[in-house]
Amino acid sequence: MKRISVSEFKAETGARADEAEAARAEREKGERQRVRQELECRAAGVASIVAASFLSVAFTDFPESVGLSSANGHNAGLGLALAGGKWRIEGSLDVLRKAKIYGFAMGATRSFASYALSAMGVKHSPEAHARICGMLEWEPGKFREAASFIPAHVLSAMAGLGDGLFEMVEARDEADRQAFFREFFEAAAENGAAFDDAPCRGAEPALHALARRGHVEFMRAALQAGYLRTNVPHGSGTAAHAAVEAGKLGSLRCLQRQGEDIEVVDAEGNTLLHRAARLVGSEHPDKASEIARYLVGQGLDPEARNAVGRTASELAWDMAAADGARDVSDDARHAFDRALGLGAPAPAM
């Protein structure tokens, strides 16, 4: 056996321990970054970052950090910090994970006003609160200035919120909504937003999110203005897949009229009819028939088979059989077959 000195032993094991610790720290740093970005792309995270950005424009010396913990200690350690000229959510990995699981209520303008007053060291009073709330309301040109304080991935996520954006910035009448709509998309693009990309892990590109939410008018306006594009693949499909999966026929119609390909087939050979079949086992099985009727009317083949040889009707039966309430599911499956233009299905063996 080779003999070594204690000092050599300490050096070798110490080096390995240091390497392991460095690798662990790097993994934790990456996970913290991912969780932080996911929080920032949620509606509450977006609202808090937008509010801080508006106040950065309104004040010449707005603080570079804002605590987000409530009076009872909920979300203690969570906050916003200005880093590299951009507002980011900050906190330890444990704090960020808890905020992700349990959420944090930052969506309302009036909620953020209280945090802002505390950050500035201003005594809370109705007058002070009202003045801050006024600063958080949008007026022409304000978002263009504030956008420089907002990270690009947050700007990308904002587009997927659709009508929720108008509520966030208090754009109430139609003229204000249209003006903010144009200002948002132009300022977001100027500051690096990538609307075709998912803003964070587990999220979807803007058009997918809008289609899934059913924000048809917002989606139509964004497509007609050229801010968003159709036929952009993400994950297992396009925005048309997202619309079908969510049972949003209005979204699907809008997308098709704006150039979305409804004959698209995913990597598993599934048509949009196959995706509609999955709704048979959902909480809204009537949506499966509604969408199937529309797609067949647009020329999709109800007999098309996917990569494993299943038709949409057969896949619907699979969904029905997997559902606990067989009597309800069988009715939905029969209705789906009728929407496909098929006769009564053969009895199950």
- Calculate what percentage of the chain has a pLDDT beyond 70: 91
What mean pLDDT is predicted for residues 259-276?
93
pLDDT per position as a tens digit, 306-323? 999 999 999 888 765 655
The reported pLDDT for the residue numbered 149 is 98
What mean pLDDT is predicted for residues 154-174?
91
The reported pLDDT for the residue numbered 172 is 80
Residue 38, pLDDT above cutoff 90? yes
pLDDT per position as a tens digit, 51-74? 999 999 999 999 999 998 876 667
Distance spanning both ends of the chain, measured CA to CA? 71
More confident residue, 11 or 215: 215
The reported pLDDT for the residue numbered 208 is 97
Alpha-carbon distance values, 285 to 76, 272, 340 (Å): 43, 15, 14
DSSP state of 87: E
More confident residue, 64 or 23: 64
225-229, 247-251, 288-292, 313-317: the lowest-pLDDT one: 313-317
Nearest Cα neighbor of 319 from 280, 269, 276 is: 280
Cβ–Cβ under 8 Å, residues 170 and 137: yes
Q: Name 90's bridge partners.
A: 79
More confident residue, 194 or 72: 194
| pTM score of the predicted model | 0.86
Q: What is the CA radius of gyration of the chain?
A: 26
The reported pLDDT for the residue numbered 325 is 46
